[in-house]
């Protein structure tokens, strides 16, 4: 989805599930139920607010559009589901060499590519949220590392994702480069349950 000047929002060749992910800022595993076609049929959408909008306003606008055009109805629930807990891997509690304290003038935000994630400034909770999409399930921060951090981590994406095949998996890279580990467990996860959706009529 692209947000353009003047409040114009465009989405091209997107499934309804992808549109829902963007509009509600959720991961695929957080979307439950709904008709089978929401992950198969593809749509082009153009909407205009006639004024510049923020990302948050654009998401609210998309939610209203999905409710109007797709007759989308939903509710949220908290369910028990697989999660990862992120902890410091070393027994002495120190992070790895690739995880350092952020400089005073460092910029926030992540830079991403296939199998690479870099930031000059982040918290551990923000890192856990950012890694959730790569790990395929929610990540809960239990590192105990306070403050803001700089890091770069490189790994081999899943098959077909591109990147350098000589690099380790995400889990190995986290341990070797950042001194952090992801341990599987179960915990409460917020999910979006699709109660109703209809194919829209083109206009």
105: tokens are 């003038």
How many Å apart are CA 7 and CA 187, to the nearest integer?
Answer: 38
| Averaged pLDDT of the chain | 87
Task: List the chain domain ranges.
Answer: 2-70, 80-188
How many Å apart are CA 78 and CA 64, to the nearest integer?
Answer: 23
Query: Which pTM value belongs to this model?
Result: 0.70
Average pLDDT over residues 73-96: 92
Find out whether 70 and 200 touch, Cβ atoms under 8 Å: yes
By DSSP bridging, strand 2-4 and strand 31-33 are unpaired
48: tokens are 């205009």
Question: pLDDT, tens digit, for every residue of 143-170?
Answer: 999 999 999 999 987 644 444 556 789 9
Query: What local confidence, expressed as pLDDT, does residue 161 receive?
Result: 44
Average pLDDT over residues 114-125: 91
Length of the chain (residues): 203
Query: What local confidence, expressed as pLDDT, does residue 127 receive?
Result: 94
């Amino acid at each position: 989805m692209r947000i353009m000047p003047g409040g114009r929002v465009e989405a091209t060749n997107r499934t309804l599930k992808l549109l829902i992910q963007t509009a509600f800022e959720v991961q695929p595993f957080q979307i439950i139920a709904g008709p089978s076609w929401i992950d198969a049929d593809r749509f082009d959408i153009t909407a205009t607010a006639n004024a510049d909008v923020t990302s948050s306003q654009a998401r609210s606008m998309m939610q209203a559009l999905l409710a109007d055009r797709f007759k989308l109805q939903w509710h949220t629930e908290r369910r028990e589901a697989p999660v990862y807990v992120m902890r410091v891997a070393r027994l002495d509690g120190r992070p790895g060499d690739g995880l350092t304290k952020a400089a005073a003038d460092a910029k926030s935000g992540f830079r991403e590519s296939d199998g690479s994630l870099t930031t000059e400034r982040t918290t551990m909770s923000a890192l856990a949220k950012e890694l959730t999409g790569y790990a395929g399930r929610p990540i809960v921060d239990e590192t105990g590392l306070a403050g803001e951090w700089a890091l770069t981590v490189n790994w081999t994406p899943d098959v077909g994702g591109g990147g350098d095949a000589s690099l380790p998996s995400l889990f190995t890279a986290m341990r070797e480069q950042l001194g952090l580990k992801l341990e599987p467990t179960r915990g409460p996860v917020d999910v979006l349950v699709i109660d109703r959706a209809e194919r829209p009529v083109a206009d």
